[in-house]
A and B are shown apart, each in its own frame.
Chain A
C-alpha cells in the first residue's frame, strides 16, 4: 500500500492543471472565450512530451516522477476536461446553440462566377474558411464523452503502459500521441465548419496510425497501422470530395451558414437534391471508413494490434464516434420540417442498409473470435452499425416530414452512442486489465524469460476461465459493460437500442419498404449480441480455469481500477438516469432542458419506457418484446449452455457477479466443436474473406500496375531520352568515320558536296 501511496503522490502534479479552469471561472471569464484551451493544451503538450521524452529518454525523474509524460498528458487532458465541463455547464445554463464566430479567418479567398457580363469576382455568397466553435446538444454530448473518456483512459494507461517492460522508455511516444488523438476528437466535435471537422478527423487518422503501430517492430502492428490509415483514407478522400461539393453548393462550409437554410444554395439558388444527396453520400463514405462499417470495416479488428488503452480510445472515446457525429450532422439537410431539401429518402435508406449489414456481419464474426479484444472490436462494429441504422431511419423520417418519429430515433441513436461509448470504454479497459494481469502472471510464472515463449497469447480467452474471483473489480465492470451492450432491461444500452430497433421497424411499417432488410438484420443482431457478449464473459470469468497461470493472476497494478469503478457506476446507472432526464428529446433538439417533466419519478419511468416500446403501435410493441426476448433470454442462455460454468471449488467471487457464475452453470453444457470446425465457422474466422479479397485485388491490380509504371518511366519515357543520347553517340561515331584521314577523300567529298549543293540551288531556283 505504501508503494501505491507513492504512486498517488504523482497525481499532485496535475493539481495545477486542474486549477486553471476554476481560476478562470472565479475571475468571471466566459467559458466561450476559453474553448481553445480544450484544443490548445493537448496540442502543446503533445509537442512537449514528444520532444522532452526523446531528450530525457530514460531519465530517472522523467520515468518515475512524470511517468514518461503520462502525468503531463493527464494534466493536459484534465484541463480539457475541466474546460469542457465548464462549457457544458454554461451551455446547459443558457439553453441554446452557441457559436463563437471566427476568431481568425484561416483561409480567405475570392471566387470567380459567371454571369451574362462574363466572369467576375463573386461579390457575395462565397466565404473563406475560418475557425470557431459550434455547440449544440449533439456536440455537447460528444464533447463530454470524449473529454471524460480520454481523461479516464489516460489515467488507466498510466498504469497499464508504464508497468509493461516491453514499452521501455518509449511511453512518451504513447502519451504524446494519445493526447494528440484526444485533441483531434475535441477539435472535431467543437469545429464550426466542415473543413475543420475534416482537419481534425484526419489528425485522428494519423494518431490511430501512430498508436496502432505503437509496437512498430511487430510486423502485424506495422501492417495493421498502415491498413487502418489507408482504409480510413479511402473514406476520407470521398469525404473531402463531399466537402468540395458542399462548398460549391453553399459557398461556405460553416455549419451556421449551411444549416441556416439548407434548401437555398449560394446566391439564393435552389439546391439540387440529387447533387446534395451525392455530396452527403460522399460524406457518408467518409463516415463508413472512420466508423469501420461495411465495406471499409477491415481495419478495425486489426487495430487491436495497438496497446489496449488505444483500443479503448478508438472504440469508445474518439475515432469511431466521429463517423456517427458526421452523419448526425446531416440531419438539417434532410429535415424538410426545417428548410431541409425534399427528395433525399435514399440517403437514409442507404445508411440504414449499410448499418444493418455491418451489424449482422460483425456479430456473426464475433461468434467465433477467441481473442478477447477482437470480440470487443466486432462488437463495436456491430453496435456502431446499430446507431447508423438508427440514424438512417431518422434521416428517412426527417425527409418524410415525420419529424416526431425522426427526432425520437435520432435522439435514441445518439443516446446509444453515449451508452456504447461508456460501456465499450470500460469493457476495453477491463479487457486490458485482464490481459495485463494474465501477462504479468505469465511473466511471473516463467520468471521473465518470456522471450522463449512467444506462442503464449495473453489475449486468448482459451487461456483464461474462472477469473471472476481473481479479478473482482474487472469482472464486475465487464459484467455491467456487457449488460449494457446486450441491452439487459433498464441498464444503459437497453434504452437506446430498443428505440433504434423499434423505430426502424416503425419506419418499415410506415412505408419504408426498403427498410425491411436492415430492420430484420438488427433484430437478429440483438439476439446475437446477447450470445457473443455473454460468451466472452463466461469464457473469461466463469467456469474452471483452463490454464494453470490463472492461479497467479492478481489485480495489483495501480491506476487501473479507478476508471473501471467510475465507469461501472455510470454504465449501470447512467443510462437509466439520463433516460429519465429526457436525454433522448434533448439530444434530438426537441427539448431544451435535461429535466424530469412528468409529475412523479414513476410517471417519468413509464413515459420513457413507452418511448422505447411505442405503445400506440401494437406491431412495434411486439418487436420491442421480441428484441428483449432475443437479447436478454435467448442469446445469454445459449452462451451459458456452451461456455458457462461455476468457479473452481473454494473460489469466491464478489456478490455482484457471483450470481452470474453460478447461474451460468445451471444451463447444462453443450459441446459445439462440430459447429466450430464447420466451413461456415472457418469463413467467419477469416472475416468472410473480405481482407483477402482486398489484398488480392490490390496485389493483382495496383501493385503490378505501379511496377509497370516504374518500368515504363525508366524505359519508355526516359528511354526516349536515352535513345536520343545513344543515337547521338552512334551518329557521332558514324559521322567521324567520314573523316578518313586521307586528304584526297576530303577533296573528293568537298567537290561532291559543292556540286550537289550547286545542283540543289539550280533545281530550286529553276
Chain B
C-alpha cells in the first residue's frame, strides 16, 4: 500500500490508529486496555515519525521516483485508482499531490511529531497524543484529496480534534474559545459548502457522475471543465460562488475582518494545538483558496483583485497595528499570524508567478515559524505561568535556551534574511511592486511595525530586569525556582529552528517546485482570465 498508494496510507493510518488508541481502552479487556493506555503516547509518536519518513521519502524520490519540477498543471502525482464512496451522488476517494499541496503535506507530517514532542509531558497523554494523530490524518486529508465532498469532510473533521484539544487541555477561558473556534469557522465553511454545491450541480462529466444526481465532486474534472467554458454559466453566479468560497477560506486563513476567532483560540489552546492551528490549519484556507477558488474561477479572481488587496492589506497592516496594542504574548503572536497571512492574499493579487510562489512559500515558511513562536509562548506559559508581556523581565538569564529560541523565532517572523520568512516576503514584495507600484509602501511600513512589536515584546520579557541573576519574575511564579525549558521542548524547538535556518538559506528545496507550479498556474488559468478581462499593467 505504501508503494502503490502512499497518500491514502498516510491519510488513513493516523486516523485509524488514533481512533483505535482512543477507543480501545474503553472496549478492550482490562489488561489490554491498560497496555493500550501505556503505549498510546509512544505509539502515536512512532506512527507520526513513520509518516514523516514516508512523506520525506516521497519528496526525495525514494518512493515513486518523482521529478517535482516536471509536473504539469492539473497533473497530480501519487494519484490513486479512484474508489467510489457514494455512487448516488458521485463521491470518490481520489488523492494526489502537486507542488501546491505537497509542501503542505510535508509540513504537516513534520509538525505533528514536533508538536507531540513539545507537549510530550501533556496530561492524559494517552488521549492527547492520539488526538493529535487524528488531527494529522484530517490535515493531510485536506491537502491530498481531490474530491470536493471528501475535501469538505476533512476540512470539517479537523475541527473536532482541535475542539477537544482546546476544550480539555486549554487555558482558563477554554470553554468560550473552543466554542467560538468551532462555530465561527463552521459558519464560514457552510457558506463555502453552498458554493461547492453550486459548482457541483454544474459539473457534467457523465463517467464520474452520481447515479442519483448526475453530477460529481471530482476536482480534476471540474478544473478541466472550468478551463474550457468556465464551470458555471453566468458571471454573476460565478462571482457569487467565488465570494462564498472566499468567505470560507478567508475565515480559515484568517483575514480581517473575520479573524477574531483566532486570537481567542490561540490564547486558550494548548501549545501543540496552537502550533498545529497556526502551522497548518491556517494554511488550509490559503490552500483551498488557490486550489478551488482561483483555479476554477480565475475570471472572478481577476475581477475581485481589488477586494483581495483590500483584505490582504487590511490583514497585514491592521493586524500588525493591533499586535502592537497587545499585552498577551500569545495574542500578539496570533495577530502576527493574521498579519502574515495578509501577505498571501497580496501575493495572489499581484497576478505574477513570483507573487504566487511567494504566497506559497509564505504558507510554508509561516508553517515552520509560527509553530516555533507558539512553542515559545507555550513554554512561557508552562514555566512562568503567564503570558503577560511585561510581567517579567530578564528571563534570558534563567532560561537561556528559551530566550535563544524566542530570539530566533521572533527574528524569523519579522522577516530577517537567511531565515525562511524573508524569502516569501521579498518575493511577494518584488511582485507587488511590479503590479502595484507605490502601494508597496504599506506592506513595507508594516515591516517596521512588525519589528516594533516583536522587539518590544522581547525587551519586556527576556531582557531588562536590572540584576542579571534575579530579573523580575512574574507574580504567577509564587516563588517557584525559574527553570529553563525541558529537553523535549528544547528538542522540538530545535527542529523548527533548524528548518527555519535551512529553508532561509536554501529556500530552493521547495521554492523551485513552487515557482514552477506558479508559472504553470498562471499560464494555464489566470493568464487567460487576465487577457479576457483586459487587465493592463
Is any CB of A less than 8 Å from a CB of B in the complex? yes
Partner-B contacts on A (CB < 8 A): 50, 54, 57, 104-112, 114, 118-121, 166, 195, 198-200, 202-203, 206, 209-210, 213, 216-219, 221-223, 225-226, 229-230, 233-234, 237-238, 240-241, 243-245, 247-248, 702-703, 705-713, 717-718, 721
Find the B residue at minimum CB distance from A198: B417
Q: Residues of B contacting A218 with CB < 8 Å?
A: 464, 466
Chain A nearest CB, measured from B350 CB (Å): 9
Chain A nearest CB, measured from B436 CB (Å): 11
Find the A residue at minimum CB distance from B527: A119
Q: Residues of B contacting A241 with CB < 8 Å?
A: 433, 440-441, 444
Chain B nearest CB, measured from A25 CB (Å): 28
Q: Residues of B contacting A248 with CB < 8 Å?
A: 430, 433-434
Please indicate which of the listed interface residues A120, A234, A244 has the most CB atoms of chain B within 10 Å of its own CB: A244
List B residues 382-423 near A (Cβ within 8 Å): 393-394, 396-397, 400-401, 404, 407, 411, 416-418, 422-423
Find the B residue at minimum CB distance from A117: B531
Find the A residue at minimum CB distance from B441: A241
B537: Cβ under 8 A from any A Cβ: yes
B26: Cβ under 8 A from any A Cβ: no
Chain B facing A: main interface SS? helix
Contact of B422 among A199, A213, A222 (CB under 8 A): A199
Q: Residues of A contacting B434 with CB < 8 Å?
A: 111, 244, 247-248
Query: Are B257 and A106 in contact, with the CB atoms below 8 A?
Result: no
Additional A-B contact list (9), CB under 8 Å, known A717-B256, A721-B260: A54-B401, A111-B353, A114-B536, A206-B416, A241-B444, A248-B433, A706-B323, A706-B324, A709-B318
Chain B nearest CB, measured from A326 CB (Å): 15
List B residues 432-453 near A (Cβ within 8 Å): 432-434, 440-441, 444-445, 447-449, 451-453
What 6 A-B pairs are tightest by C-beta distance, nearest first? Answer: A710-B325, A706-B324, A199-B417, A244-B433, A118-B531, A718-B260
Query: Are A110 and B353 in contact, with the CB atoms below 8 A?
Result: yes
Query: Are B325 and A711 in contact, with the CB atoms below 8 A?
Result: yes
Q: Residues of A contacting B19 with CB < 8 Å?
A: none
Query: Are B459 and A223 in contact, with the CB atoms below 8 A?
Result: yes
- Given A106-B508, A216-B463: A237 and B445 interface contact (C-beta under 8 Å): yes
Chain B nearest CB, measured from A725 CB (Å): 9
The docked-state distance in angstroms from the alpha carbon of A244 to that of B444 is: 11
Chain A nearest CB, measured from B429 CB (Å): 6
Query: Are A121 and B522 in contact, with the CB atoms below 8 A?
Result: yes
The docked-state distance in angstroms from the alpha carbon of A238 to that of B438 is: 12
- Given A121-B522, A717-B257: A109 and B427 interface contact (C-beta under 8 Å): yes
B468: Cβ under 8 A from any A Cβ: yes
- Given A106-B508, A219-B464, A247-B430: A709 and B530 interface contact (C-beta under 8 Å): no
Q: Residues of B contacting A222 with CB < 8 Å?
A: 459, 463-464
Find the A residue at minimum CB distance from B515: A109
Find the B residue at minimum CB distance from A222: B463
Query: Are B455 and A703 in contact, with the CB atoms below 8 A?
Result: no
Residue pairs across A and B with Cβ atoms less than 8 A apart, 26 shown, are: A106-B508, A107-B511, A108-B511, A110-B515, A110-B518, A111-B353, A111-B434, A112-B351, A112-B522, A118-B531, A119-B531, A121-B522, A121-B523, A206-B416, A219-B464, A225-B463, A234-B448, A238-B444, A243-B430, A247-B434, A248-B430, A706-B321, A706-B323, A712-B322, A713-B318, A713-B335
Chain B nearest CB, measured from A330 CB (Å): 19
The docked-state distance in angstroms from the alpha carbon of A303 to that of B465 is: 19
The docked-state distance in angstroms from the alpha carbon of A219 to that of B390 is: 13
Q: Residues of A contacting B326 with CB < 8 Å?
A: 710
The docked-state distance in angstroms from the alpha carbon of A257 to that of B178 is: 55
B290: Cβ under 8 A from any A Cβ: no
The docked-state distance in angstroms from the alpha carbon of A89 to that of B118 is: 51
Chain A nearest CB, measured from B353 CB (Å): 5
The docked-state distance in angstroms from the alpha carbon of A247 to that of B404 is: 35
B: interface residue count bin: 35 or more
Contact of B463 among A195, A198, A213 (CB under 8 A): A213
List B residues 483-510 near A (Cβ within 8 Å): 507-508
Q: Residues of A contacting B256 with CB < 8 Å?
A: 717
Q: Residues of B contacting A708 with CB < 8 Å?
A: 325
The docked-state distance in angstroms from the alpha carbon of A105 to that of B515 is: 13
Find the B residue at minimum CB distance from A708: B325
Find the A residue at minimum CB distance from B401: A54
Q: Residues of A contacting B471 with CB < 8 Å?
A: 217
Q: What mask results when residues 344 to 368 of chain B are scored 1 for a CB within 8 Å of chain A, else 0?
A: 0000000111100100000000000
The docked-state distance in angstroms from the alpha carbon of A709 to that of B535 is: 35
Contact of B427 among A107, A121, A199 (CB under 8 A): A107
Chain A nearest CB, measured from B356 CB (Å): 10
B426: Cβ under 8 A from any A Cβ: yes
- Given A106-B507, A217-B394, A233-B451: A121 and B519 interface contact (C-beta under 8 Å): yes
B480: Cβ under 8 A from any A Cβ: no
Query: Are A202 and B433 in contact, with the CB atoms below 8 A?
Result: no
Find the A residue at minimum CB distance from B394: A217
Query: Are B184 and A108 in contact, with the CB atoms below 8 A?
Result: no
Q: Residues of A contacting B536 with CB < 8 Å?
A: 114
The docked-state distance in angstroms from the alpha carbon of A305 to that of B422 is: 29
The docked-state distance in angstroms from the alpha carbon of A320 to that of B448 is: 20
- Given A112-B353, A217-B463: A705 and B321 interface contact (C-beta under 8 Å): yes
Query: Are B466 and A717 in contact, with the CB atoms below 8 A?
Result: no
Contact of A111 among B354, B423, B464, B527 (CB under 8 A): B354
Query: Are B429 and A229 in contact, with the CB atoms below 8 A?
Result: no
Query: Are A203 and B417 in contact, with the CB atoms below 8 A?
Result: yes
Please indicate which of the listed interface residues B184, B325, B411, B537 has the most CB atoms of chain A within 10 Å of its own CB: B325
B131: Cβ under 8 A from any A Cβ: no
The docked-state distance in angstroms from the alpha carbon of A219 to that of B468 is: 11
List B residues 454-470 near A (Cβ within 8 Å): 455-456, 459, 462-468
